Amino acid sequence: MKPGLESIKNIIAVASGKGGVGKSTVTTNLAFALKAKGFSVGVIDGDIYGPSQPGLLGSSDKPTGQGGFIVPVEKEGVKFISMGVMNPSGKAVIMRAPLAIRALSQFLSGVLWGELDYLLIDLPPGTGDIQLTLSQQARLTGAVIVTTPQRVALEISRNGVDMFKTVNVPILGIVENMSGFDCKHCGESTPIFKTGGGASLATKEGVPFLGCIPLDPEIMASGDEGVNLVSHHKGQGPAKAFVDLADKVIANQIEAKLETSEPKEIEVVNGKLQVSWEEGKPASYETFDLRFACPCANCIDENTGVQILTKESIATDISVVRHQLVGRYGMSIHFSDGHNTGIYKFSKLKGLENGTRQDSFSV
C-alpha cells in the first residue's frame, strides 16, 4: 500500500470561517454518505488543536505503524487519522504553529492511505497556516464551505471563499447547515437561525449552492454517540440531506476538474522553464528574468515590497534545474544558484512568457 496522496482520486477540503457551524459534522456524514454510495473514503482531521473526528466517527482506536508510516484507523470502512487518536490522552494539544503544520504534513504524506476515491479534510475554522499549508502541499480537487444562516457566520465564510479562490482551489459549493428545525409533531419548519443566507452568499460569490441541512437533534446525537447516521437511517430522514450533499459534491467535483486554470504541461528544456497553458502550445520563460522576479522574502522585503535582490548579483548564465508544483496555484523553481524559495503563482506567470517582468507573486 502506498503512503501519501498519490493514489487518491479526489481530495476535498471542508472549511468554514467560524467554528461551531457544523463543519466536522458535515465532514463525517459526507464521508459516510460517500462510503454508502460505494466509494472508498478517508478523512483527515485537520483540526490539530481541537480534533473531533474520533468522537464523531465513533472510534478512538490507536493507529499502528508499518515501515515508518502510519496505518490509519478505520470505522465502518472509512479510514481516518486525527490528533485525537495520535494523542488519545484527552489532554489539550499544546504546540506552536510550526509543529501543528508538521503534524498536518505527516497526515498528508506519512499515512498509508492507499487507493481512495475521496479524501476529506476537516479543516479548523479560519484562513491561517493550516489552510495555507494544505493548499500548498495537496493538489486539492476542491473545497466545500460550511456556514450557518446567521449574518456573522456568512460574513466570515466569504473569507474562506476568497482564500480558496486565491490559491486556485475550485469551490465545489456552499452548504447551509442548521438551516431550519423541522418539527416532527406538527410538521412545521422553524428557521431558528434564519434561512437562505447560504444560497445568497453562493450567488454573490458565483459559486454553487450545495443545499441545506436542517437543525436536527438526531444529527447532534449521532455525532455525540459516534453512530453512522447514514447507515442507521438507511439514507433517509435526518440522513437524506447528507446523501443529497454527496450527490452534489460528486457532480460539482467532476465539473471542477474540467475548468482549471493550471498549465497543461511544465517542462525544463535546456535550463529554461517551458509552460504549456494550452495543449501543445509551450511558452518559454527567460531564466534571468524569472530569477529576478523571485517573490520570496529573501529577494523582496515583505513589509515594504522593495526589491532586495539586485540584477548584478544574478549570474548571466543562470539556469532552471527543476520545478516543483505548489498545490494547484503555483510552483517553486530550483535555480542553478541553489535558490528555490519563491512561489511563482500561475495567475502571475500566465501572460509573462517570453520575457518576464518583475511582479508580485506572493500569496
Sites of contact with ligand ADP (CB under 6 A) = 16, 19-25, 52, 177-178, 213, 215-216, 219-220, 223
Please state the closest distance from residue 238 (CB atom) to ligand ADP, in A.
8
Positive/negative CA dihedral, 58, 156, 34, 246: positive
The helix/strand count (H/E) of the chain reads as 12, 18
- Minimal distance, residue 16 CB to ligand ADP, in Å: 5
CA distance 250 to 140: 14
Q: Please, what is the minimum distance in Å from the beta carbon of residue 163 to ligand ADP?
A: 16
Least distance CB 8 / ligand ADP (angstroms) = 22
Give the nearest distance from C-beta 20 to ligand ADP in angstroms: 5
Which CB, 27 or 332, lies closer to ligand ADP? 27
Alpha-carbon 14 to chain mean position:
7
Asked whether the beta carbons of 248 and 210 are under 8 A apart, the reply is yes
**C-alpha to C-alpha distance for 42 and 242, rounded to whole angstroms:** 16
CB nearer ligand ADP, residue 49 or residue 277: 49
Instruction: Give ∠ CA 257-322-4 in degrees, rounded to 5.
Output: 50
Find the length of the chain: 363
Q: CB of residue 214 vs ligand ADP: minimum separation in angstroms?
A: 6
Backbone angles phi, psi at 323, to 5 degrees: -125, 165
Nearer to ligand ADP, 52 or 332 (CB): 52
Looking at beta carbons only, is 52 or 133 nearer to ligand ADP? 52
**Which DSSP letter does residue 61 get?**
P
CB nearest ligand ADP: which residue?
Answer: 22
Phi, psi of 43 (to 5 degrees): -135, 130
Nearer to ligand ADP, 29 or 168 (CB): 29
312: which residues sit within 8 A by CB, 6+ positions away?
none
Nearer CB in complex with ligand ADP: 221/269:
221
- The distance of closest approach from Cβ of residue 289 to ligand ADP in the complex, given in angstroms and rounded to an integer, is 45
Q: Smallest distance from the beta carbon of 186 to ligand ADP, in angstroms?
A: 19
Strands 142-147 and 8-15: parallel
* Vertex 75 angle, CA 72 and 81, to 5°: 30
Shortest Å distance, C-beta 319 to ligand ADP: 48
Q: What are the grid coordinates assigned to 182, written together? A: 423541522
Nearer to ligand ADP, 82 or 177 (CB): 177
Kindly list the strands in the beta sheet with 272-278, ordered across the sheet, starting from the edge strand earlier in the chain.
265-269, 272-278, 281-285
**Inter-residue contact 161 to 31 (CB < 8 Å):** no
Nearer to ligand ADP, 19 or 282 (CB): 19
What span, in angstroms and rounded, lies between the C-alpha atoms of 81 and 46?
A: 9
Taking the least distance from each CB to ligand ADP, the nearer of 164 and 346 is 164
- What's the rounded Cα separation, in Å, for the pair 154 and 16? 9
Contact 322, 334 (CB under 8 A): yes
Residue 25 sits at φ, ψ, to 5 deg, of -60, -45
